Structure 1
Amino acid sequence: MTRSNTPKQLRLIIETDDFDEAVRFYRDVLGMAEQPAFATEGDDRVSILNAGIATIELATPTHVRTIDAIEKAPTTPGPTLRIALEVEDTEAAVSSAREHGAQTLAPATHTPFRTINARVQGPAGWQVTFFQELETLEERATREGFTTDDDRPR
């Protein structure tokens, strides 16, 4: 891919039968700002919500199970849809989500990758991991075990 074709936005499309509940959770509970979006009329509804900077995390099933164990979250067979949101305060984010009906799947946990993670069950089958960074990427790059996949021993 040439630099001129570098993606400028990542958009996850969550199809849901309970649109109102999903909008309430992601917009009103998690605080994602809504931006204008086109829809026709009737049941043709869409809400595009800004989640800040997006990244894609590619992980093997083994790594996903490792994260489940670190976060003390239930392991479910097969692929699970999960969104991870960086927040200023993980415990406050979980508390707010719980106050609005979300079920806690994993409490706030200090991870070996220098974050505080917690997980809740969101609508439409999506799990939401809140993570609070405890150090910068530059600091993390100097720590043992932090590298890119190209530099990782096989």
Structure 2
Amino acid sequence: MGDTAGVRQLRIVVEADDYDAALAFYRDVLGLDEQESYSGEGGARVAILDAGRATLEIANSAQKAMIDEVEVGRPVAPHIRLAFEVGDGRTVTARLVEAGAELIAPPTVTPWNSLNARLAGPADLQLTVFQELGNAGDASAG
């Protein structure tokens, strides 16, 4: 039985100066399905995009620094960074760059055996696109 007082969904709300560009990037290029959208008075617009299973990752400053070092080689992450698990990290990274994301660091095999790329996307969001590689034997593909 579910706890009726528990959290049922994590929703991250991001203000985008260029709403249309951000929506096209995250919905059409990254591939997040649009669940709902609304418009209101004064030009108010919002779209709710399905990003799959959500988790909240809490990291201390040493962990944040270590991840930056592994993925990028220098400290670059802001206070909040979004990470999206994808099936093909190289293809998705190339597609996002082609759509205007700034490549901060190319896909890199991490010590925890995932293929991670770091990008700057619309709405001032820093993104990690990661692909789980599975067994250590799969890491040779990276």
Q: TM-score, normalized by length of structure 2? A: 0.86
Say which SS state the counterpart of residue 39 (structure 2) adopts. Answer: coil
Measured at CA, do residues 19 and 111 of structure 1 come closer, stay the same or move farther in structure 2, by a change above 3 Å? same
Large movers: runs of 4+ above 6 Å? none
Q: Which amino acid aligns with 1:98?
A: V
Match of residue 81 from structure 1 = 80
Instruction: Answer yes or no: is 1:44 the counterpart of 2:26.
Output: no
Aligned to 1:120: 119
Unaligned regions of 5+ residues in structure 2, if any?
136-142
Match of 1:64? 64
Structure 1 CA distance, aligned partners of 2:98 and 2:20? 17
Following superposition, the deviation at residue 97 of structure 1 comes to 0.4
Residues 103-139 of structure 1, C-alpha deviations (whole Å, 9 max, x = no match): 1011111111121100111012101111111228xxx
RMSD: 2.0
Gaps of 5+ in 1: 137-154
Task: Name the SS for the 1:58 alignment partner.
Answer: coil
Question: Is the contact between residue 81 and residue 125 of structure 1 (CA under 8 Å) also seen in structure 2?
Answer: no
Q: Do the aligned partners of 1:65 and 1:75 also contact (CA within 8 Å) in 2? A: yes
| Deviates most, 67-76 or 92-101 | 67-76
Shift of 1:74: 4.4
Paired residue secondary structure (1:98): helix
Identity among equivalent pairs (%): 43
Aligned twin of 2:105: 106
Closer, same or farther in 2 for the Cα pair 1:42/1:73, shift >3 Å? Answer: farther
More strand by share: 2
Question: Is 2:10 aligned against 1:10?
Answer: yes
Structure-1 residue corresponding to 2:27: 27
Query: Which residue matches 1:150?
Result: none
CA contact (8 A) 1:74 1:105 kept: no
